[in-house]
Amino acid sequence: MNSKYIKIMEDIKLRLEDGSLIAGSKLPSVRQLSEYFSCSKNTVIKAYAELEKEHLIYSVPKSGYYVVNEYQKATEGNEVIDFLSAGPDKNVMPYVEFQHCMNQAIDQYKEELFTYSDQQGLYSLRVQLVKYLQNLQVFTQPERLVVVSGSQQALHLLVSMPFPNGKNNILIEQPTYFGIIESINLHQATTFGIELSMDGIDLDRLEYIFRNNDIKFFYIIPRFHNPLGHSYTNGEKKKIVELAEKYDVYIVEDDILGDLDPNPKSDPLFSFDPSGRVIYIKSLSKIFLPGLRIGTVVLPALMMNNFLRYKFSSDFNSSALSQGALEIYLKSGMFNSHLKKVKEVYRTKMQILQEACELLLPANTSFSKPNSGFYLSISLPENVKAKQVVHMLNEQHIYVDDASRMFLAEYKKENLVRLCISQVNESQIKLGVERLAHCIALIDSRKKHGTPNNFLLI
């Protein structure tokens, strides 16, 4: 059986997928393609005929073959496979229970709804948050907590405000959460990066940067890092805190996925210096209801007044209704039972994703191996760009993230893809990875052989 015509069809479809061929584009002549692929003209005619049957191209007598429309390739039944969205799994969110709490909050906190409430946040909520944080090995008092409108607000304020050490520069892991990079860019803050892999960071390099670069704070995601999924050991965290103390650097610890840690002995950086060197940020957006826009930050006493001034200029105070409802939810014990459920859901999904990657990804890729959390990253072959993969998979209604926006310009990598397991159905994970693997192999193969671009330039 002559399979050469199938290869020709695949090459043309690839060009349709990546946008090199658009509606109205003229294809190479039968003679040109037969020479290029070293095959008979009949083979090319057969390939073109099959593409016509699929309504992808059409022929004009005495002129040639043309593209009908932009290529749209859907998954079976147009089903979306979403490895992009990073909100919590909608199927395990406690809508009904929280609705009860919201109704109670309206009754209980109606006066606060008609006034501006405590700038630091409802005291009764801060009491409940202190109890909740104890489960994460964060021991503090309500007076050191500020309720914020999600962790992003806390980060934005910390980037902009002066710190007690009088320093101005910021250090971030590379790659890292896109939101901090955006805040840094908006404030035009001088920023340094330190490379992070699943093996961690170079602690000697960290000390060098602390010693020589006037660092105000080091922003770090200690558990289930975004986008890599990396987690530090307790020993590494302790050493990082010691270096920060030695060189008068603050640490901003974003422990957004700390609740999902299956290791009960894993501690936050805060536990190694609870006095104020480590500023601890906790959002509930990933494990609970992101629309609440509620998070908390634990600050040293000497930073409290300044932080509250900056917060006041931003939004006076966070939503009293959201705060009241969350307080009731935490106090009732419903949150703890919800947390047990979501921990198991995400751990299982991550296990399925890793098994699929191990089984299906091409040998010249590598992927991170977190034991829980939301994120897993795939390093593509050097000649395969993440944006090409994203574009090709979008056409099939499979969504993944190009992680290039999670780097500072001088560290940028264009071959890192982030997969998020939070909103993809368990039953779709293997199919999604299969399509991703096929896409990587297809682009890699064409790049190596120069086929996709070259034959169109004949």
Reply yes or no on whether the pLDDT at 77 is more than 50. Answer: no
Determine the pLDDT at residue 76: 47
Output the average pLDDT for the chain. Answer: 88
If DSSP codes are grouped into helix, strand and coil, which group holds residue 175? Answer: coil
Q: How confident is the model at residue 185 (pLDDT cuts 50, 70, 90)?
A: very high
**pLDDT per residue as tens digits for the range 317-344:** 777 778 888 888 888 887 888 888 888 8
Mean pLDDT of 353-361: 96
* Residue that wins the pLDDT comparison between 278 and 457: 278
Most confident of 16-30, 49-63, 176-190: 176-190
Mean pLDDT of 359-364: 95
Contact 56, 67 (CB under 8 A): yes
Give the Cα separation of 432 and 23 in Å (integer). Answer: 28
* Residue that wins the pLDDT comparison between 73 and 96: 96
Q: Which of 334-366 are b and which e, b meaning 16 or more Cβ less than 10 Å from the residue's Cβ? A: bbeebbeebbebbbebbebbbebbeebbeeebe
Cis omega before residue 227 (within 30°)? yes
Mean pLDDT lowest for which of 163-167, 198-202, 212-216, 288-292?
288-292
Determine the pLDDT at residue 116: 60
Q: How confident is the model at residue 69 (pLDDT cuts 50, 70, 90)?
A: low
Q: How confident is the model at residue 458 (pLDDT cuts 50, 70, 90)?
A: very low
Determine the pLDDT at residue 75: 46
Helices (H), 213-361: 234-246, 301-315, 320-332, 334-360
Tokens read off for 176 = 């890292």
Q: Which of 2-29 are b and which e, b meaning 16 or more Cβ less than 10 Å from the residue's Cβ? A: eebbeebbbbbbbbbbbeebeeeeebbe
**pLDDT per residue as tens digits for the range 104-156:** 887 877 766 666 667 899 999 999 999 999 999 999 999 999 999 888 999 99
**pLDDT per residue as tens digits for the range 258-317:** 989 989 899 999 999 978 999 999 987 766 666 677 899 999 999 999 999 998 888 777
Main-chain dihedrals φ then ψ at residue 12, nearest 5 degrees = -70, -40
Q: Would the pTM count as exceeding 0.75?
A: yes
Mean pLDDT of 65-79: 60
Determine the pLDDT at residue 449: 67
